[in-house]
Amino acid sequence: MTQTPDPSAEAVERPIAYGARLARAVAEHGPLCVGIDPHPSLLTAWGLSLDADGLERCGRAMVEAAAGRVALVKPQSAFFEAFGSAGIRALERVLADCRQAGLLSLLDVKRGDIGSTMDAYAAAYLTDGSALAADAVTLSPYLGIGSLDGAIATALGSGRGVYVLAATSNPEAADVQRARHLDGVAVAQAVVAAVSRANAEELATGEPGAWGSLGLVIGATIPAETVAALDLGVVSGPVLAPGIGAQGAGPDDLPRVFGAAARFVLPSSSRAVMATGPDPATLAAAVERTAAEYRPRT
């Protein structure tokens, strides 16, 4: 996995690495990631119209509730794409609000394609000046982890990050992710190892002790057999852990699944938080309460 950005570009102006920016935000606010998943049923429950205007109001209200209370938010692109170009425009506004509020955005797009196509996705999501630019995106490695090399280089070169799916929270995932390579290593573990190696290379040239800019996605609901197939001792970057709240996992599941890597875990909750809206004060209180549940006890 190649992850070193173009050295000539670095010499001109080196942006602050995503891992360093994230570690700082987590130190300030705690590790909770609030998901922005405007399901149609949620728009209805919030009294909003089932169109791009409803989406935009919902998404922007979530940014307002999260800003200054958590380190990052994760808009789910699918719910915006479902409304076509007007939905994409709403997503652009939500991302612009994040930038303005100084709130890190992790755009959940789960892209994974051949390398040349990945370069176009990277231009859309990981390049300064793009209307859809986020601080990080989710990527799928299941066309081969090497197919993500170009997107990873683009992310690192612009001070952004990517989160690579390793062991996801859905029950169907085990067939592929727990399968073993000929040498016996589980597919999900090979993803963990490749991302961790790339982080080690990045960190070798950066601030000691900082987080790597490349993350993993490991569901907080994964079963014991999947946990047993993973060695997370090598992790040195963020681990997004969806599955808390609506999918049933809670704070007590994190040590069971992540062990010593728990210090890198970003628990992510969408529906459980959003269900408390739309009243802004109630929503902000739910964000704060959930964030407090996951902050390390001092």
Catalytic residues: 110
CB of 90 to ligand OMP, least distance (A): 16
CB 55 within 8 A of CB 15: no
**Which residue number, 4 or 78, has a Cβ lying nearer to ligand OMP?**
78
Does 276 interact with ligand OMP (rule: CB under 6 A)? Answer: no
Does the N-terminal peptide bond of residue 278 adopt cis geometry, omega within 30 degrees of 0? yes
Applying CB under 6 A, the span of 90-98, 150-158, 244-252, 290-298 interacting with ligand OMP comes to: 244-252
**Alpha-carbon gap, residue 54 to 63, rounded angstroms:** 14
Find the binding residues for ligand OMP in span 114-143 (CB under 6 A): 138
CA dihedral 220, 294, 189, 2 (to 10 degrees): 130
Applying CB under 6 A, the span of 3-11, 128-136, 147-155, 240-248 interacting with ligand OMP comes to: 240-248
Applying CB under 6 A, the span of 3-11, 52-60, 64-72, 267-275 interacting with ligand OMP comes to: 267-275
Indicate which single residue of 77, 213, 269, 290 sits in contact with ligand OMP (rule: CB under 6 A). 269
Does 271 interact with ligand OMP (rule: CB under 6 A)? Answer: yes
Q: How large is the angle between the packed helices 115-125 and 149-157, nearest 10 degrees?
A: 30
**Which residue number, 42 or 194, has a Cβ lying nearer to ligand OMP?**
42
**Which residue number, 32 or 203, has a Cβ lying nearer to ligand OMP?**
32
Spell out the alpha helix ranges (H) of the chain. 7-12, 18-29, 40-45, 52-66, 77-81, 84-101, 115-125, 149-157, 174-177, 187-204, 224-228, 253-258, 271-274, 280-294
**Alpha-carbon gap, residue 215 to 273, rounded angstroms:** 23
**Which residue number, 5 or 189, has a Cβ lying nearer to ligand OMP?**
189
> What is the binding site for ligand OMP (CB under 6 A)?
35, 37, 76, 108, 138, 168-169, 217, 219, 240, 242, 245-247, 268-271
